Amino acid sequence: MISAKYKLLLCSGIVTALAACSPADNTTVAARPPTAVKVSPLKAELVQNRVQALGTLLAKESINISSNVTEKITALHFDDGDKVKAGQPLITLQQDEEAAQLSSARADLAEQERELARLKGLIAKQSAAQTEYDQRQTAKLRAESKIAEIQALLAERNIRAPFSGVMGLRQLSPGALVSPGTSISTLDDISVMRLDFQLPSLGIGAIATGQSVVAHSEALGEDFDATISAIATRINPVDRSITARALIDNPEGKLKPGMLMLVTLITDEHEAVMIPESALQSIQLHHYVWIMTAEKIAERREVKLGIRKPGFVEIRSGAKSGEQLIYEGFSALQDGAPVAPQGSD
């Protein structure tokens, strides 16, 4: 067996050999150089929380013009696309029979009035009975009622514009036989357009009458200012949506009934810190950003997110305006590692 003294000498030799192999000085291994990153200062800006919905345009007033009676058209007093005033004659239907009846009723009324005048003089001379005068008075009232009845029939055969607007395309020509419900043309008041759109009922608190909205027409490539005029009193039980109506001035007549519009509502406006989505690290439900401190040290922060807009997201907490955001080169960073900023926006 090896003696204890021999073991001691052997260990001393190994230690001496290791000492001889070590450097002469006490210099340690060089520290890792700072990681090159790109940084940008965080700034607060005005952001808007927007809600968008699709809506359909309707004319302020709109009707299909048709007849209440079955009769032949004798004249049309408008052309396609004409602007007409309220009360302006549009269509005349055949009314020869009614005109003859009116002439007869007026002649009867004139006869009753002459008889009343004659009887009034005879009664003054006590040459006629009061009952005869009363009978003639009743006959006069019947004649007046008959005239009013015939005039109503004539009015149905003289169709007038119920409001000012623009005529559509006519569907029939003079000589055509029309019946109730047959569309002859259309009349629309497009000086102001109604825009109906639906929003989820959860957003009912974000809209109010008098609120301004923006309506975009893809067909025209143009935005139009609108104002909410009314909100439905009931929520659709099928899709839990609520309908709102906005009004758009249309003095040039660019907008047409039936057009599809994209409605944008601004439901909130506030100052917020926005960062590029590419500068965000997300792990499950947690979100992080990298901040460069004044000592040029990388610091990972957990943040709470707010609204989003294309390419950007709001930081509600975890970082503030004025701090330096590392937006590029952070993929291999460790918390507390030194960084070397290479550029900023």
Which pLDDT belongs to residue 342? 84
Q: State mean pLDDT over 17-30.
A: 42
Q: Which of 6-15, 83-92, 109-118, 302-311 has the lowest mean pLDDT?
A: 6-15
Name the residue with tokens 């150089």: 33
**Can you say whether the dihedral through the CA atoms of 313, 314, 315, 320 is positive or negative?**
positive
Q: State mean pLDDT over 15-40.
A: 59
Confidence tier at 142 by pLDDT (50, 70, 90):
very high
Type of residue numbered 105: A
Residue 323 predicted with pLDDT over 50: yes
Confidence tier at 31 by pLDDT (50, 70, 90):
low
Name the residue with tokens 């029979």: 97
Report in angstroms the alpha-carbon separations of 197 from 213, 272, 294. 12, 29, 51
Which pLDDT belongs to residue 2? 45
Identical topology for domains 35-47+271-342 and 52-60+188-268: no
H or E segment and range at residue 130: helix 130-156
H or E segment and range at residue 38: strand 35-41
Residue 345 predicted with pLDDT over 60: no
What burial class does residue 257 get, using C-beta atoms within 10 Å of its C-beta: 0-12 exposed, 13-18 middle, 19+ buried?
middle
Compare 215 and 4 and report the one with higher pLDDT: 215
- Domain boundaries 35-47+271-342, corresponding CATH code: 2.40.420.20
Name the residue with tokens 């007046």: 144
For 220-285, list the strands marked E by DSSP.
222-231, 241-249, 260-276, 281-283
From 124, 68, 57, select the one nearest 263 (Cα to Cα).
57
From 71, 87, 96, 110, select the one nearest 150 (Cα to Cα).
96
pLDDT tens profile 150-190: 999 999 999 999 999 999 999 999 999 999 989 999 999 99
Q: State mean pLDDT over 8-32.
A: 45
Q: Report the alpha-carbon distance of residue 64 to residue 320 in Å, rounded.
A: 61
Residue 5 predicted with pLDDT over 60: no
From 59, 57, 61, select the one nearest 162 (Cα to Cα).
61
Q: Report the alpha-carbon distance of residue 39 to residue 327 in Å, rounded.
A: 6
Residue 82 φ then ψ, to 5°: -65, 145
pTM value > 0.75? no
Domain ranges of the chain: 35-47+271-342, 52-60+188-268, 69-179
SS3 (DSSP) at 115 = helix
Residue 123 predicted with pLDDT over 90: no
Q: Which of 7-16, 76-85, 182-191 has the lowest mean pLDDT?
A: 7-16
Mean pLDDT across the chain: 86
CATH topology for the 52-60+188-268 domain: Elongation Factor Tu (Ef-tu); domain 3 (2.40.30)
